[in-house]
A and B are shown apart, each in its own frame.
Chain A
Amino acid sequence: MNEKLNDILSRVAVESLEKLAFIFSFPEEDNGDMDYDSAAAAGVSFTGPFSGSLIITISRQVLVELTSNMLGVNDGQETTPDQQEDALKETINIICGNLLPFIAGEQAVFNIDTPEIIAGADAIKNAVTDSDGRKPASSVKLDIDDEQCALFLFGDIQVVGGLVE
C-alpha cells in the first residue's frame, strides 16, 4: 500500500502545484536529506474515517515563486513573509483536501483543521523525521527546478474503498 500511497500523494501534489500556481514538479527518486535551514514548512491535521496529518517542506526559493504566481505579482515585485506563509498554508490545505478522497473514497467526510506553519529547522526536522515509533505512512519528494519539496503523510491510514485510479 505504501508504494500506491506514495504514487497518489505525489500525483495529487504535482497536479495541485501546477493548477494552483503554475509550478511544475516531478517526483524525485533521490531520498537525500533536505536542507531544512533553507526550507519552510506547514502542516495540517485531519480527523474522519482515519486521522492524521500532512506536512509539506519546501525550499524558500520555491515558496517565493509559489506565492508570486498565486498572487500574480510581476517580476521585481516582492511578496511579504506573511503572504508566503499564507500561500504555503493554503497549498497544504488544498493538497490535503484533494488527497483524502483518493484514499478514503469520495463519500468519506473529514474535518480538516486550520493549517499551521512549522517554524525553524529543528522543528521541521522533528516534525518529519522518524522518532518514537512515529513514521510517515507515505512520504514523497518532488523536484522543482532543482529545488526540493517534500510531503509527509502521518496517521493510521486506512484504505476504505478509496485509492481511486
Chain B
Amino acid sequence: MSINVLIVDDSSVMRAMILKTLRMTGLPLGETYQAANGQEGLDALEQHWIDLAIVDINMPVMNGEEMIDHIRENLEMKDLPVLVISTEGSKTRIERLQHKGAKFIQKPFSPEIIRDTVKGITGIGANDE
C-alpha cells in the first residue's frame, strides 16, 4: 500500500525539502502533488485522490488554516489526514489547528519527526509494500 501526498507551501524550496524528506523516511509514497497556496491545494484535492495533505499556514491567496476549514466542511474530504508544517510558534494557534484535526510540526523539522507523525496519522508502516 502506498500513500498519495499533497504538499502545500508557497516556498518551492520548502516543498522540495519536504518531498526529499518523505523519500528519505522510507514511507511508501505513491503519487505526490504540489501546490503554492490553499486554493491551489483545494483544486488539487478536487482533481486527485490524496491520502495525506501537508500544509503550511502563512501563504498568499488562501492560508493553510482556511484551507483546512474548507476541507473539514466538505463531506468528501472532511476526514482527510492533515499535517501542518509551519514556522508557527504560538501554542494558542497550534491548539486551534489541532482542534481542527490537524497534526503539527514546527519548521525546521527532522526526518524522524516527519516519519513518525505521518505513520501516526495515516496508520501506514514504513515497511508496508
**Interface residue ranges, A against B (CB under 8 Å):** 16, 19-20, 67, 70-72, 83, 86-87, 89-90, 93-94, 96-98, 100-101, 106-110, 112, 114
Contact A86 B11 (CB under 8 A): yes
| Given A19-B108, A19-B110, A109-B93: A97 and B13 interface contact (C-beta under 8 Å) | no
Interface string of B57-93 (1 = CB under 8 A from A): 0101000000000000000000000000011111111
Total residue contacts A-B, CB cutoff 8 A: 65
Contact of A98 among B13, B16, B106 (CB under 8 A): B106
| Given A20-B107, A83-B13: A107 and B58 interface contact (C-beta under 8 Å) | no
- Write 6 A-B pairs (CB below 8 A) sorted by A numbering: A71-B17, A72-B17, A90-B11, A93-B58, A96-B87, A106-B90
Smallest CB gap from B93: residue in A: A109
A140 to B16, CA, bound (A): 30
Query: Closest Cβ of chain B: how far from A101's Cβ, in Å?
Result: 4
Query: Closest Cβ of chain B: how far from A99's Cβ, in Å?
Result: 8
Query: Closest Cβ of chain A: how far from B6's Cβ, in Å?
Result: 19
B48 interface residue (CB < 8 Å to A): no
Contact A114 B60 (CB under 8 A): yes
**Interface residue ranges, B against A (CB under 8 Å):** 10-14, 16-17, 20, 58, 60, 86-93, 106-110
Residue numbers in A under 8 Å from B108 (CB-CB): 16, 19-20, 94
Contact B17 A114 (CB under 8 A): no
Residue numbers in B under 8 Å from A86 (CB-CB): 11-13
Query: Closest Cβ of chain B: how far from A46's Cβ, in Å?
Result: 10
A94 to B106, CA, bound (A): 9
Query: Closest Cβ of chain B: how far from A10's Cβ, in Å?
Result: 16
Residue numbers in A under 8 Å from B91 (CB-CB): 101, 106-107
Contact A110 B90 (CB under 8 A): yes
Residue numbers in A under 8 Å from B17 (CB-CB): 70-72
Contact B106 A71 (CB under 8 A): no
Residue numbers in A under 8 Å from B93 (CB-CB): 109
A106 to B93, CA, bound (A): 10
Smallest CB gap from A113: residue in B: B58
Contact A89 B90 (CB under 8 A): no
Smallest CB gap from A87: residue in B: B13
Residue numbers in B under 8 Å from A108 (CB-CB): 90, 92
A83 to B20, CA, bound (A): 15
Residue numbers in A under 8 Å from B107 (CB-CB): 20, 94, 97
